[in-house]
Amino acid sequence: MKITEDQVAHVAHLARLNIDEKEREVFTKQLDDILLYIDMLNSVDTTDVAPMTHAMEGTETFREDVVRSSLPVDAALANAPDDDGASFKVPKVIE
């Protein structure tokens, strides 16, 4: 086994996903299969290969430091479940 049910529960919590016991079992099995599959890469000798973090090569494209217009406030807030016309309203996050 590459992953335990406890680890799956932990990751689910970090991602704020509510999963029941049945789902935890299913996902553990599925994630385990995926991790075992990825494990095949370990059979390749990568001693002299630099770690790759991106599929693309080449340099970052830069943006010049020039102000562009922002969204009108009502557009910025349009998708919010709740707002007061100026700010997003959320359940209080501090005790």
Partner 1 sequence: MEYEPVIGLEVHAQLRTQTKIFCGCSTAFGSPPNTHTCPVCLGMPGVLPVLNRKVVEYAVKMALATHCTINHVSEWARKNYFYPDLPKGYQISQYDRPIAERGYLDLEIDGAGKRVGITRIHMEEDAGKLIHDESAPVSYVDLNRAGVPLIEIVSEPDMRNPEEGAAYLRRLHEILVYLEICDGNMEEGNFRCDANVSLRPRGEQTFGTRTELKNMNSFRNVQRALEYEIRRQQYVLESGGTVVQETRLWDDARGATSPMRGKEEAHDYRYFPDPDLLPVIVPGEWIDEIRKTLPELPLEKRERFIREYDLPAYDAGVLTASRAIADYFEAVATRCSKPKAASNWVMGDILGHIKEDKLEMEDCPVSADDLGELVRLIDDGTISGKMAKDVFEDMWLSGKKPETIIGEKGLAQITDTGALETVVDEVLAANPAQVEQFRGGKEKVFGFFVGQVMKKTKGQANPGLVNEILKRKLSDL
Residues that bind partner 1 (CB under 8 A): 10, 14, 16, 53-54, 56, 58-68, 70-71, 73, 76-77, 84, 86-95
Closest CA to 29 of 9, 59, 2: 2
Minimum distance of partner 1 from residue 49's CB (angstroms): 16
Question: How crowded is residue 8: how many other Cβ atoms within 10 Å of its Cβ?
Answer: 21
Cβ nearer to partner 1, comparing 43 with 81: 81
Shortest Å distance, C-beta 75 to partner 1 = 9
* 19 CA to centre of own chain: 17
